[in-house]
Amino acid sequence: MSRVTSWRRLLLGLAAGLIVLVVLVFSYQAVRTVLALREAKNEAHQLSGELRRDDVAAVKKSLRTIEARSATARSHSDNTLWNALARVPVLGDDVDAVQVMARALNDASSKVYEPATTLLDALQADNLRNQDGTVNLTAVASLEAPLQDVATALQGAVDQVDGLESDHLLGPLRDVTTNVRSQLDETLSVAKGGVSVARLVPPMMGTDGPRHYLLVVQNNAEVRSTGGLPGSFIMLDVDHGKVSLGAQHAVDDFPVLTQPVLPLTAEERALYGDNLGENIRDTNLTPDFPRAAELINALQKRAFGTTIDGVISVDPVVLSAVLRATGPVKVGDDTFTAHNVVPRLLNQVYKDLGTRAEQDAYFDRAARGIFGGLITRNVDPLKLMRQLGKSSTQRRFLVWSAHPEEQRLLAGTVASGELPRDTGARPHVGLYLNDGTAAKIEYYLDYSASIRAASCTVSGGQTLQVGMVLDSSAPRRGYQLNHFITGNGAYAPRGMMRLNLRVYAPTGGELTSLSANGRPVRIATADHDGRQVAIVTMFIRAHQEVRLSAEFRTRDGQRGDPVLDWTPGVRTTTSRATAQSSC
């Protein structure tokens, strides 16, 4: 055997051994990295339960564990070997994705710990509440800095993960990347919302002087785009963290005008008619709560001459959430609990009382009594904030400020209830319902919605598929219910629902098809602030299910994850869905 051949074999053997060593080292590091990331994810899931239980010690321990696990993942994946493999065709995208996720999670968890623990210590009942029961506005304001630090750390992680091209990753890794991105986005949204709250609450609760707000309680049994018919109105007087209840008004206290109280655009008139600005009952036919609030403010000022600082909107589902924080509240001969307040206010009252005046008075007394219990009891502010935050994510707790600088801070938060306009790279679709029966029969209406991105063009336009399932549980012999619930038959046979649906396409996009139970639906279209709107009238019989299917085309360049909003209902636990982009 020649000396050259021997050297060749030796070199090949060394090369093979080196390759085996590299594979073994990489496999070991990959396993350790994946296990560490999985443990961090499991710890994050456990953290959610600990936060709900207010277990501060356990939360701090979990935060440290997440930081340690993500550091382990980063130490095993952030090295020369992984950097080299990240440049290998096909495999490189997956290697790079693991590196990015480990680095992003480690950066975020290490930077979040200190401000998060500061927040945990500050967010205790004794810190946020003064001895006289008023809100400690100084303590609330002090939350802004640590919340901003948390948001900044999370934003850095989001920016890193958002740069990943998840479509090119292996299936399991693509799912993990999507899950991590979704969790980071959700947590960042909460942190940003917290920053706005900490900045807004002190001035809005009277740190600089008394404030006056109109509290509107919507009635979901007669559905409107933002939830339900404006049914009860209570003035809230706020001064240096102390809240008191002022004058209360019913719907019939507002005159119906012959001309809109504020100028309406041609688009608003085409979609919702002059009633939008003439009748308090119809101000929230529009899904844009800031606009509805402006109209409500103008109508109350015309009726009562009151100057207010803002409008706050809730519904009986929010009252249920409040009762979870306060405990049961006795109002007259009734005791309202988190479990009975919704059926009593939205259905039973119309069965038990024979006139609309009696029904309105009952609704008003209940709303006032529940909020009276809230402001007079020694309620844990953290527990209350958690319940109202949950209501905000369902788009049930909405706030509008008459002060432009405050309204700018509210814009973009879940509590603003605004209709998204040009949403940049993220296309937005909306499905908004309005009652056409002139009755309280939507107590029996259940619905859910979904969105999916089906395809993406070279220019970044997406095809979106949206579904909505509507189901009536009204008694089959609907005519046996009284006319307060079913209507008098003028707009739909008694027991049947007549619904006016407004389907909002993405800004610059269009609705390309719409069907109900597999059959094409004829539609009329209009525009609203750059968005195409399809107008659909539906009749739903008792115990009938209607399945709507819609397809949209977005404008070019909208490559982001699409978002769908719909009207919150009596029993729905969510009114928003996000899909993974198809681009």
Domain extent listing, the chain: 22-204, 211-406, 421-578
Of the candidate ranges 37-41, 110-114, 441-445, the one whose mean pLDDT is the lowest: 37-41
Task: Report which DSSP code applies to 122.
Answer: H
Q: Among 320, 371, 364, which Cα is nearest to 341's?
A: 320
pLDDT at 476: 84
Whether the pLDDT of residue 180 is over 50: the answer is yes
pLDDT at 97: 77
pLDDT at 67: 84
- Looking at residue 579, its amino acid is A
Whether the pLDDT of residue 510 is over 50: the answer is yes
Q: Which CATH class is domain 211-406?
A: alpha beta
Task: Give the residue, 469 or 103, on which the prediction is more confident.
Answer: 469
Task: Give the residue, 324 or 121, on which the prediction is more confident.
Answer: 324
Distance from C-alpha of 263 to C-alpha of 261, rounded to nearest angstrom: 7
Task: Give the residue, 82 or 535, on which the prediction is more confident.
Answer: 535
pLDDT confidence band for 171 (50 / 70 / 90) = very low
Contacts of 526 (CB under 8 A, 6+ apart): 267, 270, 271, 532, 533, 535
112 in helix, strand or coil?
helix
pLDDT confidence band for 127 (50 / 70 / 90) = confident
CB-facing half-sphere around the CA of 318: CA atoms within 13 A: 28
- Crossing angle, helix 56-77 and helix 3-52, to 10 degrees? 170
pLDDT at 54: 66
Q: What is the pLDDT of residues 89-99, one digit of tens each?
A: 766 677 777 77
Whether the pLDDT of residue 550 is over 90: the answer is yes
Contacts of 231 (CB under 8 A, 6+ apart): 217, 218, 219, 251, 360, 363
- Asked if 216 and 287 count as a contact pair (C-beta separation under 8 A), the reply is no
pLDDT at 175: 57
pLDDT at 423: 81
Task: Give the residue, 240 or 193, on which the prediction is more confident.
Answer: 240
Q: Sign of torsion, CA 27 29 32 37?
A: negative
pLDDT at 435: 97
Indicate the Cα dihedral angle 132, 137, 140, 144, nearest 10°.
-170
Whether the pLDDT of residue 65 is over 50: the answer is yes
pLDDT at 172: 47
- Asked if 67 and 147 count as a contact pair (C-beta separation under 8 A), the reply is no
pLDDT confidence band for 169 (50 / 70 / 90) = very low
Please compute the mean of the pLDDT values over residues 234-261 and round it to a whole number.
93
pLDDT at 503: 97
Cα–Cα distances in Å, from 498 out to 84, 345, 372, 445, 493?
A: 63, 22, 36, 11, 9
Whether the pLDDT of residue 274 is over 50: the answer is yes
Continuous H helices in 205-315? 266-272, 275-278, 289-304
| Burial of 372: CB neighbours in 10 Å, binned 0-12, 13-18, 19+ | middle
162-188 core/surface letters (b: 16 or more CB in 10 A; e: else): eebebeebeeebbebbbebbeebbebb
Longest dimension (CA), the chain: 111
- Asked if 39 and 47 count as a contact pair (C-beta separation under 8 A), the reply is no
pLDDT at 96: 77
Distance from C-alpha of 64 to C-alpha of 58, rounded to nearest angstrom: 10
Contacts of 566 (CB under 8 A, 6+ apart): 430, 431, 432, 433, 447, 449, 468, 575, 576
pLDDT at 516: 95
Contacts of 369 (CB under 8 A, 6+ apart): 329, 330, 331, 332, 336
Whether the pLDDT of residue 166 is over 60: the answer is no
Topology classification of domain 421-578: Immunoglobulin-like (2.60.40)
Cα–Cα distances in Å, from 504 out to 271, 507, 530?
A: 11, 9, 10
pLDDT confidence band for 122 (50 / 70 / 90) = confident
Question: What is the gyration radius of the CA atoms in the chain, in angstroms?
Answer: 28
Contacts of 8 (CB under 8 A, 6+ apart): none
Cα–Cα distances in Å, from 245 out to 26, 312, 341, 367?
A: 66, 13, 20, 11
Contacts of 208 (CB under 8 A, 6+ apart): none
pLDDT confidence band for 429 (50 / 70 / 90) = very high
- Crossing angle, helix 144-162 and helix 91-122, to 10 degrees? 170
* φ, ψ (nearest 5 deg) of residue 321: -65, -40
Continuous H helices in 400-530? 404-410, 483-486
- Looking at residue 181, its amino acid is R
Please compute the mean of the pLDDT values over residues 455-471 and round it to a whole number.
95
- Asked if 298 and 320 count as a contact pair (C-beta separation under 8 A), the reply is no
Q: What is the pLDDT of residues 286-302, one digit of tens each?
A: 999 999 999 999 999 99
Residue where the block lists tokens 């309620």: 379
Of the candidate ranges 1-5, 84-88, 519-523, the one whose mean pLDDT is the lowest: 1-5
pLDDT at 278: 97
- One-character DSSP codes across 129-193: B-TTS-B-HHHHHTTHHHHHHHHHHHHHHHHHHHT--GGGS-HHHHHHHHHHHHHHHHHHHHHHH
pLDDT at 316: 95
* φ, ψ (nearest 5 deg) of residue 219: -110, 100
Whether the pLDDT of residue 221 is over 80: the answer is yes
> Whole-model pTM?
0.86
pLDDT at 3: 54
Please compute the mean of the pLDDT values over residues 55-79 and round it to a whole number.
81
Contacts of 260 (CB under 8 A, 6+ apart): 274, 276, 277, 278
Whether the pLDDT of residue 87 is over 80: the answer is no
- Asked if 464 and 554 count as a contact pair (C-beta separation under 8 A), the reply is yes
pLDDT confidence band for 29 (50 / 70 / 90) = low
Task: Give the residue, 11 or 453, on which the prediction is more confident.
Answer: 453
- Asked if 350 and 482 count as a contact pair (C-beta separation under 8 A), the reply is yes
For the chain, the 3-state helix, strand and coil shares in percent, each to the nearest 5, are 50, 20, 30
Task: Give the residue, 20 or 62, on which the prediction is more confident.
Answer: 62
- Asked if 509 and 558 count as a contact pair (C-beta separation under 8 A), the reply is yes
Q: What is the pLDDT of residues 343-361, one digit of tens each?
A: 999 999 999 998 988 998 9
Mean pLDDT computed over every residue of the chain: 86
pLDDT confidence band for 532 (50 / 70 / 90) = very high
Q: Among 433, 388, 450, which Cα is nearest to 414's?
A: 388
Whether the pLDDT of residue 565 is over 80: the answer is yes
Domain 421-578 in the same topology as domain 211-406? no
